[in-house]
Amino acid sequence: MDTLILEKAQSWVNGNYDAATKKAVQQMIDNNPNELMESFYKNLEFGTGGLRGIMGVGTNRMNKYTVGMATQGFANYLKKTYPNQIIQVAIAHDSRNNSRFFAETTAQVFAANGIKVFLFEDLRPTPELSFAIRNLQCNAGVVCTASHNPKEYNGYKAYWNDGGQLVPPHDKNVIKEVEAIHSIDDVQWSGGNNNITLIGAEMDQKYLNMVQSLSVYPEVIQQQKDLCIVYTPIHGSGIKLVPAALAQFGFTNVHIVQEQATPDGNFPTVAYPNPEESETMRLGLEKAKAINADILLGTDPDADRVGVGVKNHKGEWVLMNGNQTAVLAFAYLIEARKRKGIARPNDMVITTIVTTEMINEVARQNNVACYNVLTGFKWIAELIKEKEGSENYVIGGEESFGLMIGNQIRDKDAISAVALLCEMAAYEKQQGKTLFDKLIELYMQYGFYYESLISITKKGMNGQKEIAAMMEAYRLNPPKVINNSKVVQLLDYELRKGTNLITGEVWKIQLPKSNVLQFITEDGSKISARPSGTEPKIKFYFSVHTQLSNQHEFDQKLEELKQKIGGIITSMQLE
């Protein structure tokens, strides 16, 4: 056993930790060296998005002490940034095990530091936390969630005064302050209960009113109010607001998947509480089929991601991927605002560098400005702030099942997405079509774009090293040919450099540094490699496209695009 690891563990046994923690550490020292090593070999990193990790005792685990130390560092930064001012923060949490405990711990540490805390009385969706920060004019916020990770995980997402997650310079500066907290004895744990105010129903209603204001065609909903909707919160916080949002929009025929309706951090009906996973949406699909629904929707534990099921052109139920959902939502808002006469000349939309290029094409053909930012809604939020006053933000989104509609929140929001997707389904039903019919029409109009994603997981101490080595190999020796097509462009977002591999032309990428590589081939395929910021994974994104002249060609063209992605995966030896 590494002596440094043992020393760190021993300091927990001898320090000012609670008895249960000390006992658990001692048991690992005596009986479980592997678990001891994983729990103490490093400190759980406070990254640019906050904390995320497996729950348990140890420096590399989510527990009272790692959360308390992170909060003390965040509090210190807030006090330096806002000297001699009243500082306010909002705090929320989802349905995960210990989320309430971590939220209360966070509230108590902030409050003990003289900071005024608005703590939600019970679990709430992450987007409502973003909304509350703006509505209450808070300086910062925290939500305790690990989003869609497995049940063993929890996390701590840090927000700034605009309701978006931390971006430069605040992210790095908060990290420095957190890293300066070397002991739990540096943390002010208690003594500020008078600084904590519970919030709940009043904020819910303000948020729901905001969501309702996003509706473009309320009159269509009135005519299609019996649209048959199936919704599953997947044991998460969406149950608090999604049914209420749909009711406020005017929908009257909403069916909840009861087996997944109760918030439960053990997520008993699923392996992963992620609406991207078909198995996670299985119970919803079964219910949708049984009652012949028009649309199925599912949200993850903190209700910022949305999964969508619809009937395809053959009448079969299918789950749409995040790119398809985003294309439908972007096209609807751009086209519907035009039809309604509420589009503005300075409207803009925002997507990310690994999301479908089809969004750029939709925006281009409709003369709407479209910006591409790094992965993560904090970058969308940052660009909105930068463009405020000169351009009118309409919608942002990315391939990972996230949408952010309207400018009153600054993080992805599955509540407003569910409501608007149902409005979209109602609008198409009024025309005698499904959302899938509309998707095929969009492919015919803007080009048939198809995307896929594979993730390679590398766990444990060596996982990050292996992922770093893969990225370095691609950076030093980029492939010259992928799937029999020349690589004509290399985009390196870490070096902020684009290179035309045919002419040798080099240009600067005008985005912050990020460890992403993109290969553009002669036939227009785009392959992106990106280590995950929240999980021990490296992700590969594939995007291909063709033309679709009529709907009867759809199946054949789809198969061709799938085979093309299969060829790319084989040629890059990623299987």
**Would you state the pLDDT for residue 465?**
85
Residue 543 catalytic? Answer: no
305: left (phi over 0), alpha (psi -120 to 50) or beta: beta
Supply 64's token pair: 């009272």
**Would you state the pLDDT for residue 84?**
94
- Mind listing the pLDDT tens digit of every residue in the chain (575 residues)? 689 999 999 999 999 999 999 999 999 999 999 999 999 999 998 887 899 999 999 999 999 999 999 999 999 999 999 999 999 999 999 999 999 999 999 999 999 999 999 999 999 999 999 999 999 999 999 999 999 889 999 999 999 999 999 999 999 999 999 999 999 999 999 999 999 999 999 999 999 999 999 999 999 999 999 999 999 999 999 999 999 999 999 999 999 999 999 999 999 999 999 999 999 999 999 999 999 999 999 999 999 999 999 999 999 999 999 999 999 999 999 999 999 999 999 999 999 999 999 999 999 999 999 999 999 999 999 999 999 999 999 999 999 999 999 999 999 999 999 999 999 999 999 999 999 999 999 999 999 999 999 999 887 667 888 898 999 999 989 999 999 999 999 999 999 999 999 999 999 999 999 999 999 999 999 999 999 866 678 999 999 999 999 999 999 999 999 999 999 999 999 87
Predicted model pTM: 0.95
**Would you state the pLDDT for residue 1?**
67
Report the relative pairing of strands 116-120 and 88-93 from DSSP bridges: parallel
Supply 389's token pair: 């006053």
Give me the catalytic one of 39, 95, 130, 147: 147
Sheet holding 306-311, edge to edge: 254-256, 229-232, 295-299, 306-311, 317-320
CA distance readout (Å), 437 to 314, 316, 433: 10, 12, 6
Distance (Å, whole) CA 237 – CA 15:
36
Q: Is the torsion defined by CA of 524, 351, 555, 281 positive or negative?
A: positive
Measured torsion, CA atoms of residues 108, 109, 113, 115, in degrees rounded to the nearest 10: -60
**Three state DSSP letters for 321-374:** CHHHHHHHHHHHHHHHHHHHCCCCCCEEEEEECCCCCHHHHHHHHCCCEEEEEC
Q: What are phi and psi of 38, to 5 degrees?
A: -65, -30
**Would you state the pLDDT for residue 459?**
76
User: Which domains are assigned to the chain?
Assistant: 42-205 (3.40.120.10), 224-446 (3.40.120.10), 450-571 (3.30.310.50)
> What DSSP assignment string belongs to 401-463?
TEEEESSS--S--HHHHHHHHHHHHHHHHHTT--HHHHHHHHHHHH-EEEEEEEEEE--STTH
